[in-house]
Structure 1
């Protein structure tokens, strides 16, 4: 009787073994989730980089990526970029959210998006830098914003000798830029210069990623702020020739 009792494995030893096994499994799952999540964030950043024209930071939803790898469905992701380029524009800050992503490829696309939204900020410094990259850019020396009037004023020529004032608004789902003042010592500015500035601003505010459209525009004391909304969208297949394939890990495609 005593021998049999001594040969029986103590209950606490079995419990310890079970706890160790569970801890190892949990650590493996957590480690695998963190690793795969990092790879997927990198992969999605590459996917959306071409849409925004700059490096982006991607945030993933609460849903475990290992589960997303099974059903190919992502509740949402967030996208942040501090130097986006839309058309000729440079220096735009973008915070976007993309919802209901289905990563099952079909009909020549790499997946679909249910809806999207974004907040875009284009600072006066970014506007000035954009204009100074144009052929007439040497003539534009400063940009100021008037939040009360909802206008942008451009200094033209040495010491801001001339002024061009424009008012951006949203009309029929697009941004419209209208000239409200253009004078140099009481005389009108050259038409080509005025048209060049207005056209550059207009082109910069017409094209947005994921087929989003402007819904609200506000001129602040130092920027233009634009709210965008988008509906269903088919993501194009990434252009492999435009990317450095060696920089993308093999496991990056785990969701697709």
Structure 2
């Protein structure tokens, strides 16, 4: 695009003293755009208006100036944009700065005493719950094993329980059990009906060897035999004549005897400790209508009581016996007994 032709002596607007180049903006002026500056005047003061061309020439000049200014304005940002859009490849872009505010907040939250205290309480509660659960499970397993062994020996249902202190977990870890209590249902011991046993076991140390599982420091057992149980046991021990020989059992605590009354006889016997078990020694024997040798009856009673109260494992033996108003109470015990293996006695195979 070219500037319109002006007077021959009129310098072009591109060569004004105040301009910085062909792309510089024309200076703003409050006077009309038709006035021009002379090249020699300082400060670019306006000159008196000259005789301008006709109206079409003035419009063309104004349009040219407008387009030139617009072109300069559009080229300048373009250059700046191009210059800013082409970064130096050797310069790495700066990483965005991290905001330390949230990190400090998190650190403060972690260091909050209340939060730390709550975390410790939760951890402590979980540990306690784990210990309680482990203790209960260990007690259940241990009680079942001991009760199963006793039930196998006495032929009756049994329940076992370990002492409260120390914790059973600690006893299992050390293989040293301080106190165990076992009690049967009272239905029978072997073939002795109505006989019940309560056992207290102390100082059990598990140390498996070829012929032993461990040792028992002390075992004490209290056996009660009810009068009704004695009657039923004697009836079962004497075939056919049992019901006739013993229909009623009466205890006499004063002289320590029991009386077996039947339809045709009356037997008075005294429970005593014999060997490792108990025996019923006949003190008085009366028969009505038929003769039955006393020795025969005594032999039958001895055989019966021997099977019931002797040959217990662990070296358990009878210590004492006492007649009460409800039956007979005896005490059995053993000390420093060796626990047999499952091969020696199948009842101890689960220990």
For Structure 1 versus Structure 2, the TM-score category normalised by the shorter chain is 0.7 to 0.9
- 1:44 aligned partner: 146
1:201 aligns to 2:310 (yes or no): no
Between the two structures, name the one with larger relative contact order (CA 8 Å, sep ≥ 6).
1
Aligned equivalent of 2:255, options 142, 145, 149? 149
- 2:124 aligned partner: 22
Structure 1 position 202, deviation (Å) = 4.7
After TM superposition, the structure 1 = structure 2 runs for residues 105-254 of structure 1, keeping only pairs within 5 Å, are 105-134=208-237, 135=239, 136-139=241-244, 140-157=246-263, 161-170=264-273, 174-185=277-288, 189-191=292-294, 192-238=296-342
Question: Which of structures 1 and 2 has the bigger CA Rg?
Answer: 2
Aligned equivalent of 2:189, options 85, 89, 96? 85
Residues in 1 aligned to 2:193 and 2:235: alpha-carbon distance in whole angstroms: 11
Residues in 2 aligned to 1:49 and 1:110: alpha-carbon distance in whole angstroms: 19
Change (3 A) 1:172 1:52: closer
SS in 2 for 1:132: helix
Residues in 2 aligned to 1:28 and 1:92: alpha-carbon distance in whole angstroms: 41
Residues in 1 aligned to 2:231 and 2:219: alpha-carbon distance in whole angstroms: 29
- 2:156 aligned partner: 54
SS in 1 for 2:115: helix
Residues in 1 aligned to 2:142 and 2:232: alpha-carbon distance in whole angstroms: 34
Structure 1 position 187, deviation (Å) = 7.4
Mean CA deviation greater in 96-105 or 173-182: 173-182
Note the alpha carbon deviations across 1:47-77, whole angstroms, 9 max, x for none. 2222222221111022212112221110120
Mean CA deviation greater in 193-202 or 219-228: 193-202
Structure 1 position 40, deviation (Å) = 1.1
Residues in 2 aligned to 1:43 and 1:173: alpha-carbon distance in whole angstroms: 26
Instruction: Flag structure 1 segments of 5+ consecutive residues without an equivalent.
Output: 246-252
Change (3 A) 1:203 1:106: same
Note the alpha carbon deviations across 1:184-235, whole angstroms, 9 max, x for none. 2497644434532354235433344532222221101121100122112122
Higher strand share: 1
SS in 2 for 1:13: helix
Note the alpha carbon deviations across 1:123-174, whole angstroms, 9 max, x for none. 11111121122214232212111111211111123xxx42001112235665
Structure 1 position 26, deviation (Å) = 0.8
Change (3 A) 1:102 1:73: same
**1:112–1:232: 8 Å Cα contact kept in structure 2?**
yes
- 2:177 aligned partner: 74
- 1:99 aligned partner: 202
**1:93–1:121: 8 Å Cα contact kept in structure 2?**
yes
Mean CA deviation greater in 108-117 or 173-182: 173-182
SS in 2 for 1:133: helix
**2:276–2:310: 8 Å Cα contact kept in structure 1?**
no
CA RMSD of aligned residues (A): 2.9
TM-score, normalised to structure 1, is 0.82
TM-score, normalised to structure 2, is 0.61
**2:314–2:340: 8 Å Cα contact kept in structure 1?**
no
